[in-house]
Amino acid sequence: MENEPKPEIFKEIALKGYASKQKAKDKEIENASFNLKSKKLITVAQENQARLWDFYPKSKTKTSFSTGEVSLKNLTLRSDNNSNDPKTLSIVTLDEKGNVQLWSIEGREIPFKDEEKVSPSIAIGFTPESDRQIVSVNKKGVIDFLNLEGVVQNPISISTGQDNITSIAIHPSKKIIATGDKQGAVMFWNYKKKPTESQTMPNPNGGEVKFMSFSPNGQQFVSVGTEGVKGVKLWNISDLNDPKEVPLEAHNYDYSGGVSGLDINENGDIAIAATEKSKIYLFDRSGRSIEPLNTGYEKGIIDIGFGQFNENPSSWLSSARSYLATVGDDRVIKIWDYSKRQKIAEFTSDFVKVNKFSFSPDGRSVVVEGDKGKIEVFSVQPLHKLLKSGCDWLVDYHSNPSRSESEVAKTCSKYVRKKSH
């Protein structure tokens, strides 16, 4: 073994499919390594031939644009989980002056036709996909509905009587909007009913309501007040007429700096982030504590959000994966495969500081805001997709009409997810 010559696999690797050694084209890939940051794939074939594949020329992962010269108070991403078409993505922004604007995912502003009905605003959101409406709440607590062209819809408005609303959440399938105020009170508004029916949730949060969220299946609801984790309320709302509070298991987690982010996924699992900590604290739908996720941030977490990625929405056989997006004070955005607790993507913002953050419900896009309304949109591509792109490059490299599909499949069978039939 000592006299056996060592393989020369990395003598002079070049980009875009050039080999380290001038040998015949690879018949089968023996090993591969992918770098998430540089978006490069190294493959090692039989006879120790190495190749380096560069993905940047093949896809655009980031779009940047400016919404104006005013910092944003909130931004929200809308996406259609049943489509891969990027045209179904849109962004609604709310700046510090109360101005609401609608944007395409490429940064094109979509003018509001009834602008006087939407601005000034204190809270914004999107109704479920079937409604395709924007929700805007003004300082007097009046909720208005506009379509994606900015035209007022029916019902024209809901007068909540709350002039101190601090947060809203929108049910994923039913016509229900939750409003939270400075006193910690949470109310549900059913706008399917005429007139609109209201319901006050019992046991208000401690202090001002900072975050609220419905689970994607609409069975759970979570909110948090300014008292940190003591103010976190989890509810089973499978029966909206009889909501039941689910107490969180006692724990000694450290929420230094206060809660900075909160969300709930399709399984009812809650994720809570603290401003000065790198761990995300997790609870299941029964309130039981789950092993925390260590994100590796050194300066704390700014915000978090769940998304549900479906590789092939058109196929009922395709299963969705729960993704968790995190953004730290170091401007680094990380995407996690929640079930495996594995990081699958990482981006670094060009901004000096990230102020606002939103993760699309379909898990495909992350939007961040930096200084004075400047926005970056990152496209999330899972590792298996990037590896498939690399195999597409290999197939191009091997372009040979006489080569059978079975041979091509053999080349990349180790790295490309098999299709469902």
CA distance 114 to 152: 6
The DSSP result for 58-107, as a single string, is G---EEEEE--SS-EEEEEEE--TT---GGG-EEEEEETT--EEEEETTS
49 contacts 20 by C-beta, under 8 angstroms: yes
- The lowest-confidence range among 137-151, 341-355, 381-395 is 381-395
293-381: which CATH number, 1.20.58, 2.60.120, 1.10.10, 2.30.29?
2.30.29
Q: Of residues 11 and 293, which shows the higher confidence score? A: 293
Residues in contact with 63: Cβ distance below 8 Å, sequence separation at least 6, in sequence order: 105, 106, 107, 376, 377
- The lowest-confidence range among 130-144, 362-376, 392-406 is 392-406
CA distance 111 to 101: 8
Statement: residue 303 has pLDDT above 90: yes
Mean pLDDT of 142-164: 81
CA distance 186 to 249: 22
Percent pLDDT > 90 in the chain is 28
pLDDT at 167: 92
Mean pLDDT of 288-303: 91
CA distance 117 to 244: 36
180 contacts 165 by C-beta, under 8 angstroms: yes
pLDDT at 384: 56
CA distance 159 to 415: 55
Statement: residue 412 has pLDDT above 50: yes
Question: The tokens of 17 are what?
Answer: 């499919």
Statement: residue 219 has pLDDT above 60: yes
Of 212, 145, 214, 146, nearest in space to 185 by CA: 212
Domain limits, the chain: 293-381, 384-420
pLDDT at 420: 47
Kindly report the length of the chain: 421
pLDDT at 62: 80
Q: What is the pTM of this model?
A: 0.74
pLDDT at 53: 57
- The lowest-confidence range among 81-85, 153-157, 212-216, 263-267 is 81-85
248 contacts 235 by C-beta, under 8 angstroms: no
